[in-house]
Amino acid sequence: MKRFISTLVLMFVFVFGVNAQTDKNAQGTQAEITFEKLEHDYGEVPQKGNGVTEFKYTNTGKAPLIISKVRSSCGCTVPKWSKEPLMPGQSASITVKYNTNNVGPINKSVTVESNAKTPRVILKIKGKVVKN
């Protein structure tokens, strides 16, 4: 009987602890990442032309935003970003460089992982590399 009561008390504490944590996050104390755009269309880019674009974002939350990882769908796309925390209201950008040495369509993605309310955001680039 003591074991049953102990188990019941532990479950009670766990449920209310999780609920308190959920309520804290629901009050808006998290970072929130808001991008100006989620997709960039290069249109037609000449072979060996400029394959650089920027994805600007703002921390619209109420806690520092930390981007932990930015990875591309292939080695031909290289993202660069600040590893420093971004305070609420501040803006920054992720620079994406696509290697335009090969002719053909561009359809790549860049995944951004952070401590934001939406922890994973997928950015896309598209277009076409054409011969000079």
Answer yes or no: is pLDDT of 2 > 80. Answer: no
If you write DSSP's letter for every residue of 68-109 in order, what string do you get?
EEEEESSTTEEEE---S-B-TT-EEEEEEEE-TTS-EEEEEE
Among 74, 81, 78, 77, smallest CA distance to 57 is for: 81
CATH architecture of 33-130: Sandwich (2.60)
At residue 128, the pLDDT reads: 98
Contact present, 47 and 20 (Cβ < 8 Å): no
Among 51, 102, 48, 96, smallest CA distance to 73 is for: 96
Structural tokens at position 111: 């995944």
All structural domains of the chain with their residue ranges: 1-30, 33-130
Answer yes or no: is pLDDT of 23 > 50. Answer: no
Answer yes or no: is pLDDT of 25 > 60. Answer: no
In tens, the pLDDT along 37-71 reads 999 999 999 999 999 999 999 999 999 999 999 99
Contact present, 124 and 35 (Cβ < 8 Å): no
Give pTM, 2 decimals.
Answer: 0.78
